[in-house]
Structure 1
Amino acid sequence: MKEFGFIHMAVRPDEQIGLHEHPEWEISYVVRGSGMRTMVTVCESFGPGEVVMVQPDMPHCWAFDSSYSEIECMSLFFSNSLLERISGLSDGMAEVVRLATGTPDTVAFGGRALATLSALMAQMAQMADAQRMVAFQQMLLAIAGNDGKRSVGRMADDVEQRLGRIRVYINCN
């Protein structure tokens, strides 16, 4: 994968992606759909309007329920090397990146951060890649604040991770 990518997709519930992980960060915005989200050892429900930032290499699964004929979501993927380059722009941007990515948790957003992130994600669907990069930096600013963040999963030790993978497999298959 490139260092930066955006996907806007609509899929039927039976086409969803099961348990997976990847080396990039992921910010996902659920436009339409609901179900159960599993992040390693944490499983909870989600619904339309939710924005979540997933850590790299974190096993996760979005199991959509069948009450929707089609699920719509947008996901932004970005690498640690991109974050390093953005950090190198200035001391201020280095601090923003540190605050935005300094937690070991996968986080869901509320409050002003949720409003900002969901609006920017929706706008990204109409943007070219260069415009998305500018919007991404605005997203980092919103994520760096402490407004409305809550943990929805974190990496676990080996035993917890193995048990979590079993739970995720059961929930997602």
Structure 2
Amino acid sequence: MKQNLKYYPNIKTKSFHFDHVHIQWNQQVPLHQQQTWELSYIITGSGIRVIGDVVENFSEGEIILIPPNISHCWSFDKSVHDSHGKIENITIVFENEFLKNCIQIFPELSVAISELQNSENAVSFTGEPLQKLQILLTSMINQNGIERISSFIKILELISYGKEMRIVGRPVIESKKEKKLQKIHLYILSNFQSNITLEEVSKSMGMQKSSFCVFFKRMTGKSFFTYLTEFRIESSCQMLVKTRLSVKEICIASGFNDIPYYNRVFKKIKGTSPGNYRNKHQ
């Protein structure tokens, strides 16, 4: 699983790597894990992400900090994009060695960086820190290398002392069971918009159907299809809020083939209809 800097240029020639991409929704890096820190800003796009042991929806505007050695990936919704049909994000990758060097060169940063180095979980920023980070990261697009160093020192202070944040991922305990569960999550992530049968998913895991069902229920506390249905509903919620697709189109795009059934399940889980949910959250 560890793929240190496989997807980024060698940052030994720079203090850190700054990457601004404007690409098709399906051109993102697959599940990966590296020995570096990663700060990601989703400018345009939404979908579902996996960070360590957490699978959840994400939307534009989010800024996520991922410590070293936590596996992660973003799966973008093909229906959410800009006028060019593309998603856009900014990623900064930096090493622990860079943080150590900063302490030596700038003693004023020692307390802030020590706070950062004690972080084990991936976090999403909120409130005023999020707004300041969005401005700083966006400004770095048109800056030269020296200007970016100045901006990044300000960013280090914000991400180190930021109190307005929530945990969005934790390190996965390296056990066979956890690895297998993560593999199932990735299967769902890649196939939830299509028809998934118990035969297919259990076979892809190299398990008998009965063993698969027992394993999944024991690990999650839910049956596989209960989990899959809830996952599809959460995905449809993102599309209701972030796109102009009709409820019928969203029903199909989130893996449901029957609109009345989708409406019933949605109301059971969310307590309201898809239409009312859209009106309330837009």
TM-score, shorter chain, exceeding 0.5: yes
How many residues are treated as equivalent by the alignment? 173
Distance 1:116 1:157, change over 3 A: same
Q: Counterpart of 2:258?
A: none
Q: Tell me which of 32, 37, 49 is aligned to 2:44.
A: 32
Q: Tell me which of 55, 64, 77 is aligned to 1:52.
A: 64
Q: Counterpart of 1:169?
A: 186
Which structure shows the higher strand fraction?
1
CA contact (8 A) 1:20 1:59 kept: yes
SS of 1:158's equivalent in the other structure is coil
Report Cα offsets for 1:31-76 as digits up to 9, x if no partner.
Answer: 0000011102101111111000111121101000011221100001
Aligned-residue offset at 1:100: 2.4
Structure 1 residue ranges (4+ consecutive) displaced by more than 2 angstroms after TM superposition:
89-92
1:77-96 superposed matches below 5 A: 77-96=93-112
Report Cα offsets for 1:128-149 as digits up to 9, x if no partner.
Answer: 1111111111011111223311
Distance 1:130 1:170, change over 3 A: same
TM-score of the superposed pair, with normalisation by structure 1: 0.92
Q: What letter matches 2:54 in structure 1? A: V
Q: Point out where structure 2 has 5 or more consecutive residues left out of the alignment.
A: 1-9, 191-282
Q: What letter matches 1:62 in structure 2? A: W
Distance 1:87 1:46, change over 3 A: same
Report Cα offsets for 1:97-136 as digits up to 9, x if no partner.
Answer: 1112321001110011101111111001011111111111
Q: Counterpart of 1:19?
A: 31
Give the whole-Å Cα distance in 1 for the aligned partners of 2:171 and 2:104: 27
Stretch moving more, 9-18 or 124-133: 9-18
**RMSD across aligned positions (CA):** 1.6
Give the whole-Å Cα distance in 2 for the aligned partners of 1:121 and 1:131: 12
Q: Which has the higher contact order (CA 8 A, sep 6+)?
A: 1
The yes-or-no answer on 1:114 pairing with 2:130 is yes
Give the whole-Å Cα distance in 1 for the aligned partners of 2:151 and 2:33: 25
Give the whole-Å Cα distance in 2 for the aligned partners of 1:134 and 1:167: 42
Give the whole-Å Cα distance in 2 for the aligned partners of 1:167 and 1:129: 41
Aligned-residue offset at 1:88: 1.5
Distance 1:166 1:139, change over 3 A: same
Q: Tell me which of 126, 148, 153 is aligned to 2:142.
A: 126
Give the whole-Å Cα distance in 2 for the aligned partners of 1:83 and 1:162: 30
Aligned-residue offset at 1:165: 3.3
Give the whole-Å Cα distance in 2 for the aligned partners of 1:167 and 1:101: 31
SS of 1:152's equivalent in the other structure is strand
Give the whole-Å Cα distance in 2 for the aligned partners of 1:106 and 1:94: 21
Stretch moving more, 152-161 or 3-12: 152-161
Q: What letter matches 1:141 in structure 2? A: E
Aligned residues with identical type, % of pairs: 27
Q: What letter matches 1:19 in structure 2? A: L
Q: Point out where structure 1 has 5 or more consecutive residues left out of the alignment.
A: none
